[in-house]
Structure 1
Amino acid sequence: MSTKHHRSRQQGPLVPLHQPLLSASPPNHDGRWMRRPTTSPGPEARGVRQMAAGRPSRQLLSLSSQQIQNLRQKDKWVPLPEDDDEDAAAASAALAAAPDSLPASLEALHGESLSSLATGDDFTALTIAPGMFQDLDASRARQQRGRITLYCPGDSFDRKKLDEVLRASFPASAIKSYPDVFYVEYFAASDDAPGGDLFFFDYGVVACWGLDSAQEAAVMRTIAHQAANQPVDSEELEVDQFEFNYSSLEKPHIQNDTVTLHKKAAKDHQVKLAISYALAQSTKLSLHERRVSAMVVETKHLPESLAASGKVALSPETIAKLIGKVFIQKAAVNLLSSVLDTPEFFWRAPDSFQALYERICEYLELEQRVEVLNARFAVLQEMLDMLRDHQNNHHSARLEWIVIYLIMVEVVVGLLEVLGLFGLVGNE
């Protein structure tokens, strides 16, 4: 494009392009996007691209659950929806007007004291003692950053029992019920411990915002495990960790598993709920990925045995059980679970909340991971169907040989009868 045409083109707002075309880094200070040098993709990255094109690779299907999660590009910069400019302008106008109106009101209320301070009669009264605001600064710093931890202690929660346990552990004013989630405002027992937010999703996931490890362990022990249906083993317990950061200088975004939000979102639990929906779905999907990986390990020796000896040391009943397990997991992901559904909360919530939820889903690559999971289901199903057909063919071949033997016996008996009629057999 020539320089003349470039200058005559009308300049519009900054529009983020699709991720494959731009760098994973955020815009720099002057708003320009920076492009990162490209490198040759490895076999795992090529497997993801083949998966997106409908051609699952063998390397990708053989990966474990943790390896599939590690394929997610964590350093990519995904912008999050921002608040309306009108709210920001109103806040700026209020701050700008505050210094002008404040002295007048103070003069009216405390005219003598204000006059004495202005003349410098008792200026030492304004001296700030060392360390006066250290506790306040530490509290603010603790509130600006924190951890987001998600647990999946069971397949689901007994909603009625969970409600009883929550009301026995927290005041009623701190609990709010949504169609498929309970929200709890967590108050710290002491000033040194942080407070936070808890979200209990019906499909067995707990999201903890701003709690430390001891508080999370107490919540899991006293609440989550008591209300969980079909609790998972400690080895199967799925745990995901993220971080949050409140800032008025950075644009809202998510990068390196850190969610950066505006300070105004700190007191809005619905913003955290919109984010937690996507994070909880990712954690639930990780549990299914782990279970499918275990099934892959359990059945990977079957094709090798068939290729080496031409036989499979499994009964038709065992193969039928494996096929049933694959179907149960596939149905849990695609039919019965809320992993793929847009939560009902967003039907009545503002569009900005759903946009926030969709951006987090984009960062977590939920659609791509579900495609990989379904591809692994397809491979497992195809392999087990092949083994079942092999068993059926082997059984059919045995029946055919039995029929052949019976026919041969019948022919011999008939031949002996014919020979007996002619007196060639049985005359002695």
Structure 2
Amino acid sequence: MLGRFTRLLVATAQGYRYASNSASAKPIARSLRRSVLPDGPWKITEDKSHPLAHRVSKQMSIKPVTAITTSESYDLNKVIELLFQKGYQPVNLIPNEIVTFKYFYEGLQGDVMVIGQNGSVVSWGFDEASHKQHILPLIDGARTNPLPQSLYESEDLDYVEIESKEEWSQISSLVNVSGLEQSFIKEDLIVVDRTSGDKDMLDKAAFSSGISRSTMLAVLERNMEAHIESTRSFTELLSKGNRLNITEAEILKSTGRLFLMRGKLNLYSELIETPDLYWSEPTLETIYKQVSRNLDVPARISILNKKLDYATDESRALMSVLNEKKSTRLEWIIIYLITVEVCFELHHFYERFFGGKPDAHASLQE
């Protein structure tokens, strides 16, 4: 397995090329949280929600890492094809899972990682505005079941790259961590170790997988909230004893959406478990789990499953009410039919015994 990763790292180091056609891109508005200095590095201007990154940025170069989920998944073969057509040199960093390439923009450079199964793109060194305007359109045609742009989910953190022992000492004192010289995340800051050759690319891949896990989960959370909001009125009608203005077909569609959401969360993806790749690499597994804990992914998955349980129970209750109404209606139909049948029988009985016999006295006279 280690040999496999060594080959991947060598391929990554040899395969990276910078695309020259990105240098002429038009400037865009920057994120309010970050600004670009004339000489290139990113600087945290002011953000009370990112205190650690703000403190570190006073002494070290801080850059943004942005993850955006745009679809259910990406066709990685199509991603590679599109990037080659546009002059980039993509590398299949982790076969069938992650494709990465280098990107230039206005003197800045960074790594971009496409997480196929999560339908996410993670850019290292670019803010959300640049990410949406310039990076996502490069591989737009490789999306499977794409989301409308208004439903994109994003996550942005900050990171610093450590390239020497001296920088390790500096960052250790700034974040109050001692004796740790490998990539890690603390609070709002990712620390990437670049002192071990090209291993930083796999570390970034593990961070990217963890962050994209959060954005993919956010898509499902948004869908769940939309479902709850759409069915809230029916629950209120039930609580007031009013008549439900919903059809069986609508409830079946609602139930189908719930099963699909539950499947995407628990069956069709690796959201609830650690990907097989990281089980064989303790360092990468640690990074992946650190990011998940930092972004509250396990707790959010548990809460989402509980909401799915509630929504499923609600759907069953609505279906039960409709079935009971249907059963009651059928019972009344049967009662009406029996009543009509009884009326016919009474009419026949009357005709046989009262209206159908000839007059006996008249027949004797004849």
- The alignment-based identity, stated in percent, is 23
Letter in 2 for 1:199: M
| 1:162 corresponds to | 79
Letter in 2 for 1:414: E
- Note the C-alpha offset of 1:310: 2.9
Distance 1:303 1:218, change over 3 A: same
Distance 1:135 1:296, change over 3 A: closer
Pick from 152, 157, 172: which aligns with 2:69? 152
- Note the C-alpha offset of 1:148: 0.8
Letter in 2 for 1:177: L
Task: Give the number of the structure whose residues are more often strand, by fraction.
Answer: 2
Distance 1:362 1:213, change over 3 A: closer
Q: Distance in 2 between matches of 1:339 and 1:197?
A: 24
Distance 1:145 1:170, change over 3 A: farther
Pick from 245, 248, 263: which aligns with 2:168? 248
- Note the C-alpha offset of 1:416: 2.5
CA contact (8 A) 1:194 1:212 kept: no
1:415 lines up with 2:330 in the alignment: no
Which range moved further: 261-270 or 280-289?
261-270
- Note the C-alpha offset of 1:338: 2.5
Letter in 1 for 2:102: Y
| 2:204 corresponds to | 272
Letter in 1 for 2:151: E
Greater RCO (CA < 8 Å, at least 6 residues apart): 1
| 1:202 corresponds to | 116
Letter in 1 for 2:308: F
Q: Distance in 2 between matches of 1:426 and 1:276?
A: 97
- Note the C-alpha offset of 1:412: 2.0
Q: Distance in 1 between matches of 2:66 and 2:305?
A: 27
CA contact (8 A) 2:192 2:203 kept: no
* Count of residue correspondences: 290
1:64-213 paired onto structure 2 within 5 Å:
144-172=61-89, 175-188=91-104, 193-203=107-117, 204-213=119-128
What TM-score results when the alignment is normalised by the length of structure 1? Answer: 0.62
Pick from 336, 348, 351: which aligns with 2:268? 336
| 2:308 corresponds to | 377
- Note the C-alpha offset of 1:309: 4.4
Q: Distance in 1 between matches of 2:145 and 2:345?
A: 65
CA contact (8 A) 2:111 2:123 kept: yes
| 1:308 corresponds to | 240
Unaligned runs of 5+ in 2: 1-36, 44-56, 162-166, 360-366
Letter in 2 for 1:196: G
Pick from 228, 239, 246: which aligns with 2:143? 228
- Note the C-alpha offset of 1:370: 0.9
Distance 1:294 1:427, change over 3 A: farther
| 2:46 corresponds to | none
Superposition CA RMSD, Å: 2.9
Letter in 2 for 1:208: S
Q: Distance in 2 between matches of 1:135 and 1:240?
A: 26
Letter in 1 for 2:316: D
Q: Distance in 2 between matches of 1:270 and 1:354?
A: 11
SS class of match (1:337): coil
Letter in 2 for 1:352: T
Letter in 1 for 2:93: S
Letter in 1 for 2:108: P
Pick from 248, 271, 294: which aligns with 1:363? 294
CA contact (8 A) 1:179 1:344 kept: no
Q: Distance in 2 between matches of 1:404 and 1:205?
A: 60
Distance 1:258 1:266, change over 3 A: farther
Q: Distance in 2 between matches of 1:357 and 1:343?
A: 9
1:39-58 paired onto structure 2 within 5 Å:
none
Unaligned runs of 5+ in 1: 1-133
Distance 1:166 1:185, change over 3 A: same
SS class of match (2:185): strand
CA contact (8 A) 1:149 1:239 kept: yes
- Note the C-alpha offset of 1:147: 0.4
1:317 lines up with 2:249 in the alignment: yes
| 2:47 corresponds to | none
- Note the C-alpha offset of 1:323: 0.9
Letter in 2 for 1:226: G
Letter in 2 for 1:281: R
